[in-house]
Amino acid sequence: MSHFEQWFEACETPTVCELTGQGRGAICVLGIIGDAAVETLQGMFVPFNGKALAELPRQKPVYGRWGAEDVIVCIHAENEWELHCHGGVFAKQKILSDLQEKGFVFRDMPPSEQLTKSSAAARHELANASTRKSAAVLNWQVEGALERAWAELERDLADEKLTMARERIDGLLQWAELGLHLTRPWKIAIAGAANAGKSSLINRIVGYSRSIVFAQPGTTRDLVTVETAIDGWPVELIDTAGLRASDDQIEKEGMALAEQAIHQADLLIEVIDGSAPLPGLLKVPKLQHLVAVNKCDLVGLPTDLKGVRISALRGDGIEELLEQVSRMLVTNMPPSGTAVPFLQCQVDELRRIRREITVA
Ligand SMILES: Nc1nc2c(ncn2[C@@H]2O[C@H](COP(=O)(O)OP(=O)(O)OP(=O)(O)O)[C@@H](O)[C@H]2O)c(=O)[nH]1
Ligand SMILES: [Mg+2]
């Protein structure tokens, strides 16, 4: 019995899942299971051959329409259907939401052991890669780098070569952080005192006015996010409310959100206004922390300030700041063809084996 069949058997409620995995693709295959499949799909799936759903042949493609969308259905058993539609987000979301309205529960297929180790998983992730660099690393895995590394690890474990296995796992895990951020951007919080130039910096980095800039402190309230790439790595920049003493309730809410964003970030860029009295720096012991001393275009800034001197207004120092960000996120670029784990379940599994063989 296949992994999919086993999983389907275990589903007690009417269930729909994406067999082709989540994300964009040329086509999407949905698995639909539930005792009421035929009655539910009546009226939603309209076969071109005009037959009633109960009369459709099993294990054969049946062409038809779902609303305005051309689809193909394959009935495996009365309660087990497969539906093929376009892989664009809107087509499948329409079908999924129609089914959810009828009481079907959408569930993510748990990755099978084979899938997580195989190049197929990398191929799926590759579709979600937004930069060339992250696509290149995933492509090495599509070509089998990680699959070979798993096979070698399994051989070492079977031969009880535990030192070798430990070294292999450590070698793989050194790339885990990078691997996990190939399709999920690194989160970079931009925080600091009100009016320091945080929003100006975010706008300067992305090259357009994403965030409102204003001379009055307390301008940014909500978190303002934008995805971009730094040195070819996908990142999400998060502009936050300026931190200052304030009685304004909305501003206080904004500052609470800012603190949350800082704690969930992979890296903090703290912007300080070099022309204003120096505030105490934020204390975030476990977080990578970079200080950007802004407004260096203004004459007479103190020369002893530690941090990258920038002018969000004119653009000075931005390149150096981004170089430092890139170096802090990715200390080493893996050599071409390196095996890089890129799914949380792969990293968890490697850590689990590492713990087991350490105890042994
Ligand atoms: N001279 C100079 N002014 C700057 C620079 N960066 C920002 N400013 C000005 O500083 C003021 C505040 O800029 P913002 O980018 O809104 O500052 P912020 O840190 O986002 O402010 P809040 O959202 O209120 O916390 C604006 O008048 C900007 O034009 C800079 O590099 N040089
Ligand atoms: Mg702002």
Q: What is the pLDDT along the chain (360 residues), one digit of tens a residue?
A: 555 566 666 666 788 888 876 666 788 888 888 877 778 888 899 999 999 888 899 889 999 999 989 999 998 888 888 999 998 888 888 999 999 998 888 877 655 555 566 777 888 789 889 999 999 999 999 999 999 999 999 999 999 999 999 999 999 999 999 999 999 999 999 999 999 999 999 999 999 999 999 999 999 999 999 999 999 999 999 999 999 998 999 999 999 999 999 999 999 999 999 998 887 899 998 899 999 999 999 977 777 778 999 999 999 999 999 999 999 999 999 999 999 999 998 999 999 999 998 865
Q: How far apart are alpha carbons 229 and 121 in whole angstroms?
A: 23
Using the atom order of ligand 1, give the atom closest to the CA of residue 215. Answer: 27
Q: How far apart are alpha carbons 335 and 31 in whole angstroms?
A: 39
Q: How many CB atoms lie within 10 A of CB 348?
A: 13
Ligand 2 midpoint to CA 308 (Å): 19
Ligand 2 midpoint to CA 276 (Å): 16
Ligand 1 midpoint to CA 33 (Å): 55
* Max Cα distance, the chain (Å): 84
Using the atom order of ligand 1, give the atom closest to the CA of residue 218. Answer: 24
H/E stretch holding 245 reads none
Q: How far apart are alpha carbons 321 and 158 in whole angstroms?
A: 48
Ligand 1, CB within 6 Å, residue ranges: 194-200, 213-215, 217-220, 242, 294-295, 297-298, 311-313
Ligand 1 midpoint to CA 235 (Å): 22
Residue type, 339: A
Helix runs in 130-247, H state only: 132-142, 145-158, 162-173, 176-180, 198-206
